[in-house]
Structure 1
Amino acid sequence: MDLEEKLEKIKQQLHARNYKLTPQREATVRVLLEHEEDHLSAEDVYMLVKEKAPEIGLATVYRTLELLSELRIIHKMNFGDGVARYDLRDDNAERHHHHLICMNCGTVDEIFEDLLGGAEERVRDAYKFAILDHRLNFYGICHRCIDKVNIEDFK
């Protein structure tokens, strides 16, 4: 699915809930679509949106991100650094979505593999809990930094 098809799908999701894809929302969604792999913060999104639509304010970007999060079009995530980051939901992708978070450079890599299948079943059975999704974050040193740092400094 290309960017325009994804944008149209999001537009339909908004319309189904009685919201419009305003030009400001469209600019924000386009930035998220163009940077799907990047786990952007609200400030990152704002800076990229400003390049395309200089009239848009930070508060508008925040409101748009909150709306998209509430409507479950995007995921709002926190990797422990106090900064909310956003990730587009992909209904066609596997729901298992895990992260490798580098404590040196801050890079976030993704794992699209079910690492918790057995644990999910145990939680469901033991706690009578209907699991809809799960996420797992690993904190450590990425392959780009591993030879450049002393791991003991991070313990």
Structure 2
Amino acid sequence: MAAIDQRTEELTQALRTAGVRITRQRKALLEVVAGAEDHPDAVELHRRAVEKMPGISLSTVYRTLTELEAQGVIQRLQFEGEAARFEHTETDHHDHMIDVETGEVVEFRSERIEALQAEIAAAMGYEIVRHRLELYVRRKPSGG
């Protein structure tokens, strides 16, 4: 089973568990969410879903995303000054860089940062349960 098909099935099962009826519109939205490799907001997910299934309402998108988040299969990302964006929770831990000029979101992972965070927490008598790191960046000007 392809990764997107498997992810779609997991999202579908999460909604069924919550008692949400799987309509054709929701099925189209779930396929869009499952296939998203970026960090789309609800409006962008709606636009993509309408391409697959005209007639899906933005309110259906919001309700479905809220339920998927409640079921723990997607994560809401709230970056400064932007609409909430969404990503799958099945991905390995990573952090985000947000380009303040373009809005582009870049995922990254740094073992050095992970180790330093754990070291700081331990030095203060804590252990990390979970964390999220967001770096707000802009490209350096090229040239000398």
Determine the structure 2 residue equivalent to 1:152: none
The match for 2:135 is 138
Question: Is structure 2 residue 103 aligned with structure 1 residue 109?
Answer: no
Cα distance change, pair 58–120 in 1 and its aligned pair in 2 (3 A): same
What root-mean-square deviation, in Å, do the aligned CA atoms of Structure 1 and Structure 2 show?
2.6
- 2:26 match: 25
- Shift in Å at residue 27 of structure 1? 1.5
- Residue 127 of structure 1 and its aligned partner are, at CA, apart by 6.5
**How far 1:128 moved relative to its partner?**
5.8
What CA distance in whole angstroms lies between the structure 2 residues aligned with 1:14 and 1:117?
37
2:41 equivalent in structure 1 = 41
Structure 2 alignment gaps of length 5 or more: none
Residue in structure 1 matched with residue 84 of structure 2 by the alignment:
84
Unpaired stretches in structure 1, ≥5 consecutive residues: 149-155
1:88, CA displacement in angstroms?
Answer: 1.0
Once the 2 structures are TM-superposed, how far is the Cα of residue 33 of structure 1 from its aligned partner? 2.0
Structure 2 length-normalised TM: 0.81
Give 1:10 deviation, angstroms. Answer: 2.5
Displacement of 1:97: 1.6
Q: CA deviation at 1:18?
A: 3.9
The alignment covers a number of residue pairs equal to 141
Deviates more, 1:113-122 or 1:79-88: 113-122
Would the aligned equivalents of 1:25 and 1:64 in 2 still touch at CA under 8 Å?
yes
Tell me if the contact between 2:12 and 2:30 (Cα under 8 Å) persists in the aligned partners. no
Query: Alignment partner for residue 141 of structure 2, among 140, 147, 150?
Result: 147
Please, what TM-score do these two structures have when normalized by structure 1?
Answer: 0.76
- Name the aligned partner's letter for residue 4 of structure 1: D
Counterpart in 2 of 1:11?
Answer: 12
Q: Provide, for residues 42-94 of structure 1, a one-character-per-residue CA deviation record: whole Å limited to 9, x for no partner.
A: 1001111111111111101110011111111100011102310001111xx42
